[in-house]
Chains A and B, each alone.
Chain A
Amino acid sequence: TDLIQDRTKYIKMRTASLYRDDFKATVRQSHNNSSLNKMYKSFAGEPLSPLSEELFHTKYIDRTKLGGMS
């Protein structure tokens, strides 16, 4: 009996399942996702375009400088 039960067993089972989902996929690279490429062609242009920068990129803040709230 595995007295010290393997606490990562359920993690390994979930991990393996996602790798199976990848392995059986017909398309396995992001740049070959045709539906995504259609979104760029008909809307955002291309990655890092001005619209892509505006909608899909962001900035971060230094929270050590944030004063106390209220």
Chain B
Amino acid sequence: MRGIREHELNGIIEVNRKACKGCDSCKTFCPTSAITGKYGATHQINSEKCIFCGQCLVNCPFGAPRDTVDSLDNVISRLNDNRATVIAIIAPAVRVAIAEEFGLEPGTLVTEKLYGALKQAGFKVFDNNFSADQTIMEEGSELIAKIRHYMLGESSEHHLGALPQFTSCCPAWIRNVELNYPELIPNLSSAKSPLMMAGAVAKTYGASQIWAVQPETLYVVGVMPCTAKKFEVSRPEFTSAADYWQKQGGTEHYPDVDTVLTTRDLARLFRKLNIDFNKVSEFTDNNNPFAQYSGAGTIFGNTGGVMEAALRTAYFVITGQELAPLELTPIRGLKGIKEATLPLKDVKTGKDITLNIAVVHGIKENLKPIVDQVIAGKSPYHFIEVMNCPGGCINGGGQPINPMGTSWIDKYKAMLPWS
């Protein structure tokens, strides 16, 4: 099996042969042409090409593609094990979709209800939005170091990658680069994704200074709108916390994030523990340091959100003033490729800089021109946000499957006898 290392999860998405009608709807969404099978015949997913994004899964009118990774029983057994402290790292996009699993409208914002349901189930909350802010600090600092070096000619003691810098929080996009565009690896931000930063923080700072528990007794669960996150947490290099403690005499081996539940999985868990999401009491968790996040962190779930959050901070660091207005409308919305330019006056040197940025999502149709430009060395951009899924993480492969989204045309066509 090419393209997969030992211990990395594989074959996360598979087609249920009995349910597949061969209607080809999934092929129109697969960004890496990983699905084979003629029209009308049962389709199959080639794991060597699959980036585990799950877009086939959320768009199939027949629910044929399935998420084969189910860690519900593992999580429940840890919740019942009083020696374990179980942490739920909740992604921004979960809070605007999980309500659909309980009969409410898409976009119903249920953050406090979600905190309450998680508390009732026995989790401690670590909001991934806290780590989204952290990703902005790490990734923004990296971008600014490159700007000061490549555009203002200052030397830098950091090992700097190339411009344009690509965002690195989408694990399907990362696997896509590693499989199909390895020459772009120097352009990827070295910053981990918010989930992987959260895992590292939880099992170091969290364990020692917040919860006062042994790090190896923590069981960290990512709650994500995404199936590719299940692959990301299995990457062998993500053991930074265990490596950190080993330098201080620790002997335990464990990953930074133990497992991932999708939004759908979490809803299943609540039902299994018969927690009635609509009746659960709200919990604001005000004095939890990991439930504090900014508006910039929460919009990570939208396409253009990471870029807008990064520019709000980069603008402040370079100019010394807060960006106003904060809403960068040119990079909001569902247009496939969005661009903007941001004039900045460097408060240290007085020099004027113009930052050119781009945002691309739904990369099956929209990625190629951007990537070809970068590979040819002709890209006008300094910073490019890439999200695999159309709309960004709010439409990820782990989100509730919304009947509005699946194609009734393909379903209707498939019902007709093959002519």
Contact = CB atoms under 8 A, between A and B. Distances in A.
Interface of A: 5-25, 27-36, 38-40, 42-44, 47-48, 52, 54-70
Contacts of B211: none
A30 B132 contact: yes
A64 B406 CA distance: 34
**B contacts with A: majority SS:** helix
Contacts of B107: 10, 13-17
B109 interface: yes
Q: Which 5 A-B pairs have the closest CB atoms?
A: A22-B295, A13-B107, A25-B295, A28-B295, A30-B136
B254 interface: no
Nearest to A44: B205
B334 interface: yes
A35 B2 contact: no
Contacts of A43: 204-205, 209
**A contacts with B: majority SS:** helix
B202 to A, nearest CB: 11
A58 B132 CA distance: 16
Contacts of B379: none
B299 A47 contact: no
Categorize the interface residue count of chain B: 35 or more
B293 interface: yes
B191 interface: yes
A24 B294 CA distance: 10
Contacts of B397: none
Contacts of A54: 240, 243-244
A10 B106 contact: yes
A38 B292 CA distance: 11
Interface in B66-115: 92-93, 95-97, 100, 105-109, 111
Q: Choose among B97, B190, B313, B332 the residue with the greatest number of A CB atoms under 10 Å from its CB.
A: B190
Contacts of A36: 130, 133-134, 137, 292
A16 to B, nearest CB: 6
B197 interface: yes
Contacts of B205: 39, 42-44
Nearest to B203: A55
B97 A14 contact: yes
Given A14-B97, A18-B96, A19-B332, A48 B294 contact: no
Given A55-B240, A64-B182, A15 B391 contact: yes
Given A15-B394, A39-B289, A58-B237, A7 B404 contact: yes
Interface in B310-340: 312-313, 316-317, 322-323, 326-327, 332, 334
A28 B148 CA distance: 25
Contact of A31 (B93, B240, B317, B394): B317
Given A57-B191, A60-B188, A63-B182, A23 B138 contact: no
Contacts of B220: none
A35 B317 CA distance: 19
Given A18-B394, A33-B297, A58-B196, A66 B4 contact: yes
Given A18-B298, A58-B196, A64-B182, A30 B312 contact: yes
A23 B295 contact: yes
A23 B312 CA distance: 14
A9 to B, nearest CB: 5
B170 to A, nearest CB: 13
25 contacts: A9-B106, A10-B100, A15-B303, A15-B394, A17-B96, A18-B92, A19-B299, A22-B295, A25-B295, A30-B137, A30-B140, A30-B312, A35-B130, A39-B201, A40-B137, A47-B140, A48-B145, A54-B240, A56-B138, A56-B191, A56-B200, A58-B196, A58-B237, A65-B182, A66-B2
